[in-house]
Amino acid sequence: MNHLSSVMEQTMPIITIPQTSLHRTHEFIKPMEHEEYDWRKLNIEDVITEDETPVDGIVADKQHRFLVQTLNNPNLPPPLGKEPFVAGTNIGLFSPKLSQPLVPDAFLSLKVKLPEDLWENRHRAYFVDVYGKPPEVVVEVVSNKKGGEDRKKLREYALVGVLYYVIYDPKKRLSNKTVRCYELQGGTYLEMTRHWFSKVNLGVTLWKGIYEGREDTWLRWCDQSGQILLTGDEVAEQERQQKIVAELQTKHERQQKIVAELQTKHERQQKIVAEQHAEHERQQKIVAEQHAEHERQQKIVAEQHAEQERLAKERLAAKLRELGFDPDAL
């Protein structure tokens, strides 16, 4: 199956086995404690793939799982999002070039598929001959100065053919660098100036944040720009937050629409009131004009009445004079 989550689901029986200490060869059970123990001399079905001895600390265990859990996100950039792969933590890495297995804290092997029967001994660990190739990326987390991450393991992973080797040293026990990345060139590891693995389109970076309830500085996968690759849970949380923001935005837009409608209604009512006020003033103007016209008419009537009285007096005076009377003397 090419789907990333399907591949990761297939790896779960391996990933969830108890932490191993295969790389601490002196802690193996009897058959592997002997210095001359060489798994290559045994039938593969008789090789001890697990010693069931938990040796990792809590925070180291979280760091290992964090790296692998991120790869369960189906939206990762190719080839991770397109091709099958196998990734795991504390799983035996058996190479025909080494008599003793290595147990990387985390590894990634691209373009390989998990077998159907993971309980078969040859499928319980990562046998290079079975999968046809070594992993592309291995990560070792330094917990003390005895692990040999920058000495013995550096040489052994190069011999196995691991393309990229990452040493994460959170307490700087081995050097003054927290993260060191190496690329295999000509059978030898060269330290990289950038933590970007161009041949697998993947890189690593440090990220301060919360994982499984613990705030700390974690080693994480990233893209070429340094942007961290999210776990499935983080993607779900991001989508949940985006949904909340979208709902709040929709609610805000709806409220803005209601406010706009109320504003439009208020403006319409104000317009009606203004029109009514204008009409009232127009009516008042008409009434005032009618009142002025009435007064003007009354003035004209009064003037006409006064003129009529004057004319009547003049006619009366003229008539009296005709009769021989002096109107002024009367």
Q: What is the Cβ-side half-sphere exposure of residue 304, based on CA atoms within 13 angstroms? A: 6
Alpha carbon distance 199, 8 (integer Å): 21
Q: What pLDDT was estimated at residue 124?
A: 87
Alpha carbon distance 308, 46 (integer Å): 148
Q: Helix, strand, or coil here: 312?
A: helix
Alpha carbon distance 295, 293 (integer Å): 5
Domain ranges of the chain: 4-229, 231-330
Q: What pLDDT was estimated at residue 48?
A: 66
Read off the pLDDT of each residue in 258-275 and give the average, rounded to a whole number. 94
Instruction: Please state the pTM of the whole predicted model.
Output: 0.68
CATH architecture of the domain with residue range 4-229: Alpha-Beta Complex (3.90)
Burial tier of 282 (Cβ tally within 10 Å: 0-12, 13-18, 19+): exposed
Quote the Cα angle for 218-220-223, to 5°.
150
* Lowest-confidence segment of 6-10, 72-76, 298-302 by average pLDDT: 6-10
Q: Helix, strand, or coil here: 270?
A: helix
- Summarised one tens digit per residue, pLDDT across range 43-61 is 677 666 666 555 678 899 9
Alpha carbon distance 202, 183 (integer Å): 13
Read off the pLDDT of each residue in 209-236 and give the average, rounded to a whole number. 93
Let me know: does 295 contact 303? Beta carbons within 8 Å: no
- Summarised one tens digit per residue, pLDDT across range 145-189 is 988 999 999 999 999 999 999 999 999 999 999 999 999 999 999
φ, ψ (nearest 5 deg) of residue 13: -60, -30
Read off the pLDDT of each residue in 211-240 and give the average, rounded to a whole number. 92
